[in-house]
Structure 1
């Protein structure tokens, strides 16, 4: 049961109390005698107590933890599930309690922005094996008015454990594959050298050697593609929390875009695609420079691969008070509306035949999504089938909250402690 549903229950009970008061007041005004008035007031008090007790029992029976903070971040309602999850701490005064620092931080963000906030991460349980057995929680915070904020906590420990098992399996298999893939590439190069076409005055290659060379070229191509797939799987595994995320630092977006243009120059030239840079200069985002360069490069490579010859890919940077946006626009084949919602999934391809011809792995956009999420940003897409696409990477232009940055560094499957605006 979500916080919205809990608040709905409480609001319904409050509305019932108001109706009861109104009815009792009307009856009292039309009644006769003090005895009747006292009798009605007594029944009203009993009804209020019963409904208040019912609302409290309903909240206490939830498996999800519920914490309601007032404008001073003092907990005014905490159910047993929230206590069991460790969302309370010892207060500054003897005998007092306080909400977990993360709960207070989320509540403060809700008050400042006026929008609902969500975060998912692993919390230590406060025992000797806390690092080996963390508590996975999904927190959802929303304002109730008057400075009050309700925070719902859902236990997602098991899903996090399964995600870690899957992530470790992919990482281990990918590491094991790197050695045989490297050997295949070396053998293919050796075979190509051995079947090098003869020079002038030398006899031509036999049909068998020509076929062997063709097969060697194909082996080299596929082994290179497989090596790129393994490398991107490892990169995606790291982004999903296999390794702690680097501390966010100011990143010059001019350097990021220049690095991306340099990385993609060869592929753009080969496909006769012109990469154009415009927009604002001197913008600064916060995060990891290498990851941001990888994200923008993946968007540009994707735009180049799905564009026709003699077209333009445009990189546009814009900035605001709180964010920086980098938009990559192409004149390519576009994306069907049914595929737009799925293109950031791993291995999903909107055009299977085109993806095979370009040698894509199906992981580039998934990597972009996780990099954006890890930086507290997002990536959006707008596209018209046959009319090109625009991918927009939105990044923070200010340092993130220190507390959230510390807690977020642990990470989960959906992106290390993905913090998003609902």
Structure 2
């Protein structure tokens, strides 16, 4: 490239470095010309890793959305054709139930896509001072019907009434509910899913622990990507959309926090959701304000 540039020819090449980590570099060589004379050459190296990764994620996202929507839509068409052809009443009823399930799955994919779009588009989520007990209790109650149907025990650790987080309650409850539902999908009947809340000086951690099948180490880095599934067949059978964990990660990051996972195949997984915590003093102010408003309303 330098030789070509010294001859007056510009050129650009892309170089991939297979790390880890993998990097993509764009190298451009230009001739340095003054008064019609070539004085030398200049080489510019740009790191294109993030740009290429963004392009790759965008392509995968479009392909995955198309696939995930096409599957239930195709199933709905085939089932409708079968019903229209007539037949046994019991068979027709079964097909109608399958149509309802596929329609529900399609609606869930669309709802998750909309939730993810809203979370990603917000520069800063709305934040109120919310007791942690309220966040965990609402998440558990949302998941309880599914747990009872699957024969899974939901257990949550005691939480001090003075602990609170300044957050978008709807988003955080949605994130914790997704973690609980994900744990149940990969757990066996008769097992338990435990929600453990702990704190440090400035963070609250809500951990969701299961006794399920675990996650292979090769998949741990990718499970928070949109539509990535460790076990596609099982996820489809349990109604998973492949967006739940991606929503969890975006909610945590939008609140200045993070989500992490530890897992051992055949033993289970532990997902840790961490966001900043409010001090007990702030919670007492919150309680005092609530009491004052209650008195005014009374």
Q: Tell me, in whole angstroms, the C-alpha distance in 1 between the residues paired with 2:136 and 2:185.
A: 18
Please state whether the residue corresponding to 2:126 is helix, strand or coil: coil
Contact 2:132 2:159 in 1 (8 A): no
Give the whole-Å Cα distance in 1 for the aligned partners of 2:176 and 2:217: 23
* Partner in structure 2 of residue 371 of structure 1: 251
Rounded Cα–Cα distance in structure 1 between residues aligned with 2:126 and 2:265: 39
Aligned residue pairs total 225
1:343 aligns with 2:223: yes
Give me the TM-score of the superposition, normalised by structure 2.
0.65
Partner of 1:34: none
Give unmatched runs, 5+ long, in structure 1.
1-60, 65-153, 192-205, 400-422
Aligned to 1:361: 241
Written as runs of structure 1 = structure 2, the 5 A alignment for 1:187-226 is 207-226=87-106
SS at match of 1:335: coil
Q: CA deviation at 1:309?
A: 0.5
**TM (normalized to structure 1)?**
0.47
1:298 to 160, 178, 182: 178
Which residue is 1:67 aligned to?
none
Measure the CA separation in 1 of the matches of 2:224 and 2:55.
21
Q: Matched residue of 1:310: which SS?
A: coil
Kept in 2, the 8 Å contact 1:279–1:318? The answer is no
TM superposition shift of 1:281: 2.1
The 1:310–1:253 alpha-carbon spacing in structure 2 relative to 1, beyond 3 Å, is same
In structure 2, the gaps of 5 or more residues are 1-42, 280-298
Q: Which residue of 2 aligns with 1:275?
A: 154
Of 107, 115, 118, 1:235 maps to: 115
Return the alpha-carbon distance in structure 1 between the equivalents of residues 98 and 115 of structure 2.
26
The correspondence for 2:140, drawn from 247, 258, 261, is: 261
In the other structure, the counterpart of 1:327 is 207
Distance 1:318 1:240 in 2: 27
- By how many angstroms is 1:298 displaced? 0.4
Moved more, 371-380 or 284-293: 284-293
Aligned residues of 1:252 and 1:285 also touching (Cα < 8 A): yes
Specify the SS of the correspondent of 2:88.
helix
Show the counterpart of 1:248: 127
Which whole-Å CA distance do the structure 1 matches of 2:214 and 2:98 have between them? 30
- Per-residue CA deviation, residues 195-249 of structure 1 (Å, 9 max, x unaligned), is xxxxxxxxxxx953222222211111001001000000011111111x4543322
- SS of equivalent residue, structure 1 residue 381: strand
Q: Distance in 2 between matches of 1:232 and 1:225?
A: 11
Q: Report deviation, 1:63.
A: 9.3
C-alpha contact (below 8 Å) 2:125/2:255 kept by paired residues: no
Q: Distance in 2 between matches of 1:247 and 1:359?
A: 30
The alpha carbon displacement at 1:321 in A equals: 1.5
Give the Å deviation of 1:398. 4.3
RMSD: 3.7
| 2:154 match: secondary structure | strand
Alpha-carbon distance in 1 for matches of 2:126, 2:94? 48
